[in-house]
Structure 1
Amino acid sequence: MTTISVDRVSRWFGNVVAVNDVTMTIGPGVTGLLGPNGAGKSTLLHMMGGFLAPSTGTVTLDGAATWRNEDIYNHIGLVPEREAMYDFLTGREFVVANAELFGLPNAGFAAQTAIDTVQMEYAADRKIATYSKGMRQRVKMASALVHNPSVLLLDEPFNGMDPRQRMHLMDLLRKMGAEGRTVLFSSHILEEVEQLAHHIEVMVAGRHAASGDYRQIRRLMVDRPHRYTVRSGDNRALASALIADDSTAGIELDLRDGVLHIQAIDFVGFTRRLPQVARERGIRLYEVSPTDESLESVFTYLVGA
């Protein structure tokens, strides 16, 4: 199992600080690197991939520095956001060239396997100049996979893909994470991260803002009430019993939908008290759903929006 470690890393360009004193560890499975545009995600990925030197701090792959270490490229596949491709080549020629750069004994077979993996066989012999944005993304993915790396670093990999292509790539990354590969992808699209990765690393203005399962992070946000939708056999009786409890800050009875909208200021206290009240009063609970335990709520909180 391969692990990337970032230890007290900063990177600046002149007077601009792109990454500021970041420490994190990325292990096997799928991790989402989340943040608004300009948060430092691409700079961090390039340092992890050995293409950029940290101004201070260290980035290591299983204990070996990534900067000026050619050996790491046997283990890393990088899909950059920038379109650094040769438009005069066909997709197949581009992937074969990458296979040959890795010194693979059967470059043609390795390239075909990678092309099939990303479902680009139908356009493999067309010039890259004729490719759409989504097709370019997939052929870049094929070139990153051609040497079967244990680590994948992907910078905004879903840009330009249609819904079918996105679903296929998500399934592919889930499979690779389940195989024990270390997959890190950056995105500023909350839906992409929420569908693919439970573990997140959040960057805000160059700093490391949060790390972990975003649902667990949400539960640590004690200064922000948790909102629930509750449907029961007697909403009025349940509301009257809960409104005086210290774990709740407000309860609204929605007569149209027949549900209670509850704001809980004590997550643990509320999750214990609700079933107790229902049992004591003989009220059947049909639905208890958190309505803001989403990645969007966590992200909005962290960026101070």
Structure 2
Amino acid sequence: MTVMTVADVSRWFGNVVAVNDVTMSVGPGITGLLGPNGAGKSTLINMLAGFLPPSAGTVTLDGAPVWKNPQIYRSIGLVPEREAAYDVLTGHQFVVANAELHGLPDAGAAAQRALATVQMEYAQDRKIGGYSKGMRQRIKMASALVHEPSVLLLDEPFNGMDPRQRLHLMELLQAMGAEGRTVLFSSHILEEVERLASQIEVVVAGRHAASGDFREIRRLMTDRPHRYVISSSDDRALAAALIADGSTTSVSLDSTTETLEVDAVEFLPFAELVPRVARDAGIRLYRVSPADESLESVFSYLVAI
């Protein structure tokens, strides 16, 4: 089991603090790294990849320091956000060069496997300078996978990809996470993170804001009311019963959708309240669903903190 650990890490550039006292662990499976632009995501990934030293704290791979430790690159594959390919090379030449840099015994065969994995065989003999943004992303992915690393660090890997390419990369990352590889990726497209990541790490203004399953994170936000959408056999009677209880702060009836919108102060008391009230009043519940437990809602709350 491969685990990357960030312990009390800060990184500053002159007077600018890019990462401020961050501690987190990234283990097997898929972890999504979230944060607004300028939050420090790329700086964190560069420190995890050993390209930047922490100004304070430590970054380790299975207990071994990452900085100035070339051996880690046997285990790490990196897809940076910035372009990292030579336009004069063909896709095949670029991936073979990376295989040779890793000292693989059969660089050509390893390159072919990696190109096939990202579905780039059809363009392998074309120069990278003529590739689209999505093709460049996939050739970078091939170079990151050529040595079959146990850890993948991906900085905005979906940028420039069309829907088909995006779907294929999602399936590829899901398969790697299921194999037990450690995958960390950043993305500004929350739908991708919600579909892929079993764990999220959120950074805001360089600080670590939250860690874990986003639904659990939402339930721990006790300072914010939980919003629910409810439909029943008698919405008006249910609204009157719910607003009388101290666990709700507001109840409104949406006549267009014929549903109730309820803000509840506490998750567990409200979860117990609704079925009890409905049973006592003889009301049938058709739907009770959270309206703000999506990753988008959780992220917007965290960014606003």
Output the TM-score relative to the length of structure 1: 0.97
Q: Deviations over 1:135-175 (max 9, x none)?
A: 00000000000111000000111111111111111111111
Take 1:149 and 1:282, find their aligned partners in 2: how far apart are those partners?
A: 59
Deviation at 1:290, TM superposition (A): 0.8
Take 1:189 and 1:13, find their aligned partners in 2: how far apart are those partners?
A: 28
Take 1:280 and 1:105, find their aligned partners in 2: how far apart are those partners?
A: 73
Indicate whether 1:159 and 2:159 are aligned: yes
Q: Deviations over 1:4-38 (max 9, x none)?
A: 00001111111111111111000111001101111
Q: Which amino acid aligns with 2:169?
A: L
Deviation at 1:234, TM superposition (A): 1.6
Indicate whether 1:279 and 2:285 are aligned: no
Deviation at 1:192, TM superposition (A): 2.1
Q: Deviations over 1:64-94 (max 9, x none)?
A: 0001111110000000011121111110110
| Alignment correspondent of 1:3 | 3
| Alignment correspondent of 2:88 | 88
Take 1:85 and 1:209, find their aligned partners in 2: how far apart are those partners?
A: 34
Take 1:22 and 1:257, find their aligned partners in 2: how far apart are those partners?
A: 44
| Alignment correspondent of 1:130 | 130
Q: Which amino acid aligns with 1:186?
A: S
Take 2:241 and 2:289, find their aligned partners in 1: how far apart are those partners?
A: 19
Take 2:256 and 2:73, find their aligned partners in 1: how far apart are those partners?
A: 60
| Alignment correspondent of 2:23 | 23
| Alignment correspondent of 1:216 | 216
Output the TM-score relative to the length of structure 2: 0.97
| Alignment correspondent of 1:289 | 289
Q: Which amino acid aligns with 2:248?
A: T
Deviation at 1:231, TM superposition (A): 1.1
Q: Which amino acid aligns with 2:66?
A: T
Take 2:274 and 2:23, find their aligned partners in 1: how far apart are those partners?
A: 39
4+ residue stretches of structure 1 with deviation over 3 A?
none
Deviation at 1:214, TM superposition (A): 0.9
Q: Secondary structure at the match of 1:303?
A: helix
Take 2:230 and 2:267, find their aligned partners in 1: how far apart are those partners?
A: 15
Identity over the aligned pairs, expressed in percent? Answer: 73
| Alignment correspondent of 1:264 | 264
Indicate whether 1:104 and 2:111 are aligned: no
Q: Which amino acid aligns with 2:271?
A: T
Indicate conservation of the 8 Å contact 2:84/2:140, yes or no: no
Q: Which amino acid aligns with 2:109?
A: F
Query: What RMSD in Å do the two structures reach over aligned CA positions?
Result: 1.1
Take 1:166 and 1:102, find their aligned partners in 2: how far apart are those partners?
A: 28
Bigger mean CA deviation after superposition, 221-230 or 176-185: 221-230
Take 1:240 and 1:209, find their aligned partners in 2: how far apart are those partners?
A: 38
Deviation at 1:132, TM superposition (A): 0.4
Indicate whether 1:142 and 2:142 are aligned: yes
Task: Number of aligned residue pairs: give it.
Answer: 305
Take 1:218 and 1:124, find their aligned partners in 2: how far apart are those partners?
A: 45
Deviation at 1:260, TM superposition (A): 1.0
| Alignment correspondent of 2:205 | 205
Q: Which amino acid aligns with 1:169?
A: L
Deviation at 1:282, TM superposition (A): 2.5
Q: Which amino acid aligns with 1:13?
A: F
Take 2:267 and 2:154, find their aligned partners in 1: how far apart are those partners?
A: 35
| Alignment correspondent of 1:64 | 64
Which runs of no fewer than 5 residues in structure 2 stay unpaired? none
Q: Which amino acid aligns with 1:199?
A: Q
